[in-house]
Amino acid sequence: VELNDLGEFGFLRRVREWIPDAPLDDDAAVLLPSPGASLVATTDILVEGLHFRTDWSSAADIGYKAAAVNISDLAAMGARPRWLLVALGVPASTEIAFLEELYAGLGESGIQIVGGDTVASDRLELAVTALGELDGPPLTRAGARPGDVLAVTGPLGRAAAGVNLLLGPRYDGIRPEDVMSCLDAHRRPQARVIEGAALRRAGAHAALDVSDGLASDVRRMCESSGVGADIDVVPVADDARRVADARGWDAQRLALAGGEDYELLVAIPGGFECPVALIEIGRIVDGGLSLRGEPMPEGGWEHFRVGSGK
């Protein structure tokens, strides 16, 4: 059965079967905020061909990731994710079974889907809005101060290694489990919700999620905070490094410019009692950005400039 056969209202009836708790009957959802909490809102679009490919990821993977990248933005502020709205652009010839799987993937995020919209489109597109809550001030990217330690919640480069493997699928001399973990990192990123909340409560100065590559994201934190940074360590994941070595890629570049790791980059003050495992990568300074004493190379993942890093 194709979407085309059901029409818009027939499709909406199906969506209500897939998401039985969703108040999708009215055009707007009524939500009950927690007393005293502030609301945190973020939106991200994922587009077929740019952010995902249907020959690389299953429908469930695509739905899961669309939720995860938005939840990651909430996590970086230390917020509790609560609700999702899903605006879907979808080719009329799409199989309904594919869309059911997509919604199942969205639901795997554990966050309640409370609304949405669907339009016909040439390619699959998901514009997801995530709403979360926060008791107390948010963790932002603007609070880093000279003297802070810079750290990440996990090693980087797996998702970029996964994308590069998918672009040129040769696996000779690479352990299958390394292939799988890198592909999985691209398809199923983990939003660091618990880590973000714990870092905020513990008094971290600044955080953001590493979505565009470490080099870009350190630069963004520094620009927002009006500071510089010296990076000593580029923490490449072991499996990503082994894949890079087998394929002759620059492993450090995967971490610096690859993007889509969704670990949190965090600036913490001296004497910080760390509530979660962190990998120290450098420190915040007055002045510019440097990588082991050299100026930081440019190059993250900017969406309008093809080939600028990825």
List the interface residues with a second copy, window 160-199 (CB under 8 A).
none
Helix 238-247 crosses helix 176-187 at what angle (to 10 degrees)?
110
User: 269 is written with which tokens?
Assistant: 């003050």
Binding mask 198-227 for a second copy (x = CB under 8 A): ----------xx----------x---x---
User: 273 is written with which tokens?
Assistant: 């009692």
Only one of the segments 28-36, 158-166, 169-177, 263-271 lies at the binding site for a second copy (rule: CB under 8 A); that segment is 28-36
CB atoms within 10 A of CB 91: 14
Kindly tell me which residue out of 140, 164, 181, 252 binds a second copy, with binding defined by CB under 8 A: 140
- Containing 229, the helix (H) or strand (E) segment is strand 228-231
Closer CB to a second copy, 175 or 303, in the complex: 303
Is position 11 an interface residue for a second copy (rule: CB under 8 A)?
Answer: yes
Is position 37 an interface residue for a second copy (rule: CB under 8 A)?
Answer: yes
The partner residues of 125 in beta bridges, in order of sequence, read 47, 89
> Which residues lie closer than 8 Å to 248 by C-beta, 6 or more apart?
none
CB 60 within 8 A of CB 18: no
Cα–Cα distance measured from residue 111 to residue 99, given in angstroms and rounded to the nearest whole number: 18
Binding mask 84-123 for a second copy (x = CB under 8 A): -xxxxx--x---------------------xxxxxxxxx-
Kindly tell me which residue out of 131, 156, 185, 218 binds a second copy, with binding defined by CB under 8 A: 131
For 284: left if phi > 0, alpha if psi spans -120 to 50, otherwise beta; the answer is: beta
- Report, in Å, the least distance between residue 74 CB and a second copy: 6
DSSP state of 174: S
Is position 229 an interface residue for a second copy (rule: CB under 8 A)?
Answer: no
CB 126 within 8 A of CB 81: no
The partner residues of 176 in beta bridges, in order of sequence, read none
Only one of the segments 98-106, 183-191, 254-262, 301-309 lies at the binding site for a second copy (rule: CB under 8 A); that segment is 301-309
Closer CB to a second copy, 165 or 197, in the complex: 197
Is position 42 an interface residue for a second copy (rule: CB under 8 A)?
Answer: yes
How many amino acids of this chain bind a second copy (CB under 8 A)?
A: 71
- Report, in Å, the least distance between residue 191 CB and a second copy: 12
Closer CB to a second copy, 13 or 292, in the complex: 13
